[in-house]
């Protein structure tokens, strides 16, 4: 232990004596390590642990994969088949749900809200407790009966609409012309279906024959096995409802993580390969620096060997120096990672990532960082350390410092490392140039109109206030005319889907 501490102190003195070398080496490693850990954290969260649900790997839903554009449509399932699903040997539990848009009229200015209606067992199914208050229970939404007028808010809607007021539990939420009691607020990470709030599902209406479903597979049952049992139920549903369009669908089971793997997996793995290449460039850069510094210390090594030091002892000292640099770069990279992960989330496209996404630096990422530090230290220190195994030290002792430097035993290795570094850098530059070119082409796509200075706003319309088509048309026409008279507005129009902007 005393020898190890002596080696560490000597390594720190060497780093202090050459601050420029140490700073360049540490920053080179920190950049690659920070980028690697950040993307590793993104991949771990998005592809491996994307949701906080209980036993999320067994939570699945039906999707129609017949669309080659990878649009994930969730078809509704008829009530008779839902009852059969609950009795299936492969299914542990079933949640029924629906989605609609309601006008939040709690305050002066109404807001259009995305509401997901869930059966009473939903929050027990997901296994995530409320951050404030409580979730609704099966007694709040009894099967076949009208539910209680209660609501559970998502964290994002609570912050946006109620300014994060902790006293919101028990207050009244007015949706359209009905008043709901707020039961609780969910944690930030919970945002099922990317909605604003959750209401109990009304299953008492006999006119509603089908609902979307979420399933939990029984332990040990794969999606393929479950689909083999469920397929006859879907065929039965198609025969009883031939005009529903199920015959043209390719209905499969998709887990909560499959959604992100399907749309983002390839892109994230390509990015991971790029940042690993960046880390390799950083390691090669430090190796070149250490090799160059080792050349200037050839006479020092020769003197130490002449005085009786073994080659292994010198190699251990050099490895200690490189490990110190590796750990310093890792510590700086981890600190930078904690800063950058909070900046990454707002840059992610909300259409692909859940609104409540958090990317913490978790234990696997920290273990990954420590392993990187050890491997980096060994890799960047081993090559220059092997140069001290020169069997004949007399020329080094007799030659001047300049001549010793000119006669580099590892000149070929030095050249290979530089050539490799240039090659890796060219690969990254080529990939970056290709990405920039593709992005510029995407920006230049002709949308058929000028998207600049165009704004769109959702308009909540209460069906009970405008019961006829004529009354709704008059309301929307008056609203359009009033908006068109706003100073600075050139024109105003109405549409079902908002315009696409670049």
User: Is 492 inside any structural domain?
Assistant: no
Domain boundary among 213, 235, 256: 256
| Both tokens assigned to 403 | 């001549």
User: For residues 320 and 8, is the Cβ–Cβ distance under 8 A?
Assistant: yes
User: Is 13 inside any structural domain?
Assistant: yes
User: Does residue 273 share a domain with residue 243?
Assistant: no
Nearest to 38 by CA among 277, 272, 265: 272
User: Does residue 246 share a domain with residue 119?
Assistant: yes
With DSSP H G I counted as helix, E B as strand and the rest as coil, what are the percentages for the chain, rounded to 5? 55, 15, 30
User: Does residue 72 share a domain with residue 209?
Assistant: yes
User: Does residue 43 share a domain with residue 120?
Assistant: no
- B/e letters for 303-323, b = 16+ CB within 10 Å, e = fewer, are ebbeeeeebeebbbbbbbbbb
Domain boundary among 374, 409, 444: 409
Q: How far apart are CA 430 and CA 418, in angstroms?
A: 18
User: Does residue 220 share a domain with residue 71?
Assistant: yes
CB proximity list for 350: less than 8 A, separation 6 or greater: none
User: For residues 164 and 158, is the Cβ–Cβ distance under 8 A?
Assistant: yes
User: Does residue 231 share a domain with residue 303?
Assistant: no
SS3 track for 418-470: HHHHHHHHHHHHHHHHHHHHHHHHHHCCCCCCCCCCCCCCCCCCCCCCCCCHH
User: Does residue 36 share a domain with residue 115?
Assistant: no
User: Does residue 78 share a domain with residue 179?
Assistant: yes
User: Is 414 inside any structural domain?
Assistant: no
User: For residues 208 and 138, is the Cβ–Cβ distance under 8 A?
Assistant: no
User: Does residue 335 share a domain with residue 212?
Assistant: no
**DSSP 3-state of 63:** strand
Domain boundary among 409, 440, 469: 409
Residue whose structure tokens are 């960082």: 369
CB proximity list for 167: less than 8 A, separation 6 or greater: none
pLDDT tens, position by position, 273-289: 777 777 777 777 777 77
96: β partners: 213
What pLDDT is attached to residue 431?
Answer: 75
Burial classification of residue 283, based on how many CB atoms lie within 10 Å of its CB (0-12 exposed, 13-18 middle, 19 or more buried):
buried
User: Does residue 179 share a domain with residue 295?
Assistant: no
Q: How far apart are CA 83 and CA 190, in angstroms?
A: 27
The CA-to-CA distance between both ends of the chain, in Å, stands at 61
User: Does residue 321 share a domain with residue 300?
Assistant: yes
| Both tokens assigned to 220 | 């040990």
User: For residues 299 and 396, is the Cβ–Cβ distance under 8 A?
Assistant: yes
User: Is 449 inside any structural domain?
Assistant: no
Please tell me what DSSP assigns to residue 73: B
214: β partners: 61, 95
**DSSP 3-state of 154:** coil
Nearest to 354 by CA among 106, 217, 154: 154
User: Is 438 inside any structural domain?
Assistant: no
- Which element (helix H / strand E) includes 103? strand 91-104
User: Is 404 inside any structural domain?
Assistant: yes
Angle at 357 between CA 356 and CA 362, to 5 degrees: 135
| Both tokens assigned to 358 | 């958090």
Neighbours of 158 (CB within 10 A): 24
Angle at 379 between CA 376 and CA 383, to 5 degrees: 145
Cα→Cα distances 329→192, 248, 277, Å: 39, 56, 17
Half-sphere exposure of 31 (CA within 13 A, CB side): 15
Helix ranges, 214-297 (H) = 223-240, 258-296
For the chain, which ranges sit under pLDDT 50?
Answer: 391, 397, 401-408, 501-502
Please tell me what DSSP assigns to residue 2: H
Q: What number of residues does the chain have?
A: 502
Please state the domain count of the chain.
2
What pLDDT is attached to residue 401?
Answer: 47
User: Does residue 291 share a domain with residue 217?
Assistant: no
Q: How far apart are CA 86 and CA 100, in angstroms?
A: 25
What pLDDT is attached to residue 24?
Answer: 82
For strands 172-175 and 178-185, give the pairing: antiparallel
User: Is 128 inside any structural domain?
Assistant: yes
pTM to 2 decimal places: 0.74
Angle at 420 between CA 419 and CA 422, to 5 degrees: 65
Residue span of the structural domain in which 99 resides: 56-256
What pLDDT is attached to residue 157?
Answer: 94
User: Is 166 inside any structural domain?
Assistant: yes
């Amino acid at each position: 232990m005393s020898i190890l501490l002596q080696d560490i102190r000597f390594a720190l003195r060497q780093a202090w004596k050459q601050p420029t070398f140490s700073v360049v080496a540490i920053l080179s490693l920190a950049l690659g390590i920070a980028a690697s850990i950040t993307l590793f954290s993104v991949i771990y969260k998005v592809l491996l642990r994307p949701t906080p649900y209980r036993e999320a790997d067994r939570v699945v839903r039906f999707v129609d994969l017949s669309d080659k554009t990878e649009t994930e449509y969730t078809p509704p399932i008829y009530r008779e088949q839902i009852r059969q699903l609950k009795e299936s040997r492969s299914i542990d539990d079933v949640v029924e749900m629906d989605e609609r848009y309601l006008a939040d009229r709690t305050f002066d200015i109404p807001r259009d809200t995305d509401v997901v209606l869930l059966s009473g067992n939903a929050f027990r199914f997901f296994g995530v407790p409320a951050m404030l208050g409580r979730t609704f229970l099966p007694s709040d939404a009894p099967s076949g009966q009208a539910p209680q007028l209660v609501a559970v808010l998502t964290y994002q809607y609570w912050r946006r609409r109620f300014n994060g007021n902790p006293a919101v539990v028990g207050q009244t939420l007015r949706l359209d012309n009905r008043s709901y009691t707020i039961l609780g607020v969910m944690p930030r990470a919970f945002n099922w279906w990317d909605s604003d709030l959750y209401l109990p599902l009304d299953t008492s209406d006999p006119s509603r024959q089908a609902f979307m479903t979420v399933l939990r597979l029984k332990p040990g049952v794969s999606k393929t096995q479950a689909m083999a049992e469920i397929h006859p139920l879907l065929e039965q549903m198609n025969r009883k409802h031939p005009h529903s369009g199920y015959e043209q669908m390719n209905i499969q089971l998709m887990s909560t993580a499959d959604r992100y793997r399907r749309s983002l997996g390839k892109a994230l793995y390509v990015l991971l390969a790029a940042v690993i290449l960046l880390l390799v460039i950083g390691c090669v850069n430090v190796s070149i620096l250490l090799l160059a510094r080792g050349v200037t210390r050839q006479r020092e090594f020769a003197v130490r060997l002449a005085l009786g030091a073994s080659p292994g002892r010198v190699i251990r000292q050099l490895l200690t120096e490189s490990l110190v640099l590796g750990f310093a770069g890792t510590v700086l990279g981890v600190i930078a990672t904690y800063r950058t992960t909070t900046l990454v989330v707002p840059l992610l496209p909300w259409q692909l990532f859940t609104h409540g996404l958090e990317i913490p630096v978790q234990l696997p990422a920290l273990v990954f960082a420590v392993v990187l530090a050890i491997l980096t230290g060994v890799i960047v220190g081993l090559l220059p350390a092997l140069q001290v195994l020169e069997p004949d030290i007399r020329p080094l002792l007799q030659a001047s410092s300049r001549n010793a430097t000119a006669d580099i035993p590892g000149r070929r290795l030095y050249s290979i490392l530089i050539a490799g570094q240039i090659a890796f850098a060219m690969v990254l530059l080529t990939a970056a140039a290709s990405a920039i070119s593709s992005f510029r082409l995407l920006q230049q796509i002709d949308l058929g109109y000028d998207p600049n200075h165009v704004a769109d706003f959702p308009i909540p319309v209460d069906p009970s206030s405008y019961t006829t088509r004529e009354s709704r048309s008059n309301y929307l026409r008056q609203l359009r005319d009033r908006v068109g008279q706003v100073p600075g507005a050139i024109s105003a129009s109405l549409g079902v889907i908002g315009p696409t902007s670049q």
